[in-house]
Amino acid sequence: MPAPQVLFPAFLLLTVALLGVVVYTGIKAKLRLHITFVVLTVLSLAAAIVAALALGKLYDLESAGWITPVHLKIARIATYAYVLPAATGVMTYRDRKHRKLHFWMAMLTLGLTVLAAVTGAWMIFQATPLPAQS
């Protein structure tokens, strides 16, 4: 199995690319594709989170200073925020009048995801790598 240093950025990039497809298919109202890519994105995000947790074990995250608790809080909020577009998506599927609300909840979640990615990268760059275990 590839190392977390490979898996995390790979799944993060895949998640971002899938999010792009989710936004595109949502705007174009291609519902079947949209829902398919939403599921794929959530699975990719879950894999990225698992890889991020494994990557974090390779660093002294406390050494990154204040960015560590800030990143962890933003990452949690971003993860929980995925409930918002999911709930408003179901509402929109039932009644198209909720489409704008769904769009803005999706954009909020996307923004939080990007912020979590940026603060996570910052945290890793600031953290001291732990000695390799043999």
What digits encode the pLDDT tens for the residues 37-49? 999 999 999 999 9
What rounded mean pLDDT belongs to the chain?
Answer: 93
Supply angle C-alpha 100, 13, 85, rounded to 5. Answer: 20
Residue 22: per-residue pLDDT:
94
> What is d(CA 114, CA 133) in angstroms, rounded to the nearest whole number?
32
How far lies 54's CA from each of 3, 5, 33, 98, 124, in Å?
A: 9, 9, 31, 39, 12
pTM for the complete prediction? 0.87
pLDDT over 80 at 133, yes or no = no
Percentage of residues of the chain with pLDDT beyond 90: 89
| Whether the Cβ atoms of residue 126 and residue 67 lie closer than 8 Å to each other | yes
Q: Confidence band (pLDDT; 50, 70, 90) for 2?
A: confident
Mean pLDDT value across residues 26-54 = 94
Residue 24: per-residue pLDDT:
96
Read off the tokens for 19: 């999010």
> What is d(CA 103, CA 89) in angstroms, rounded to the nearest whole number?
9
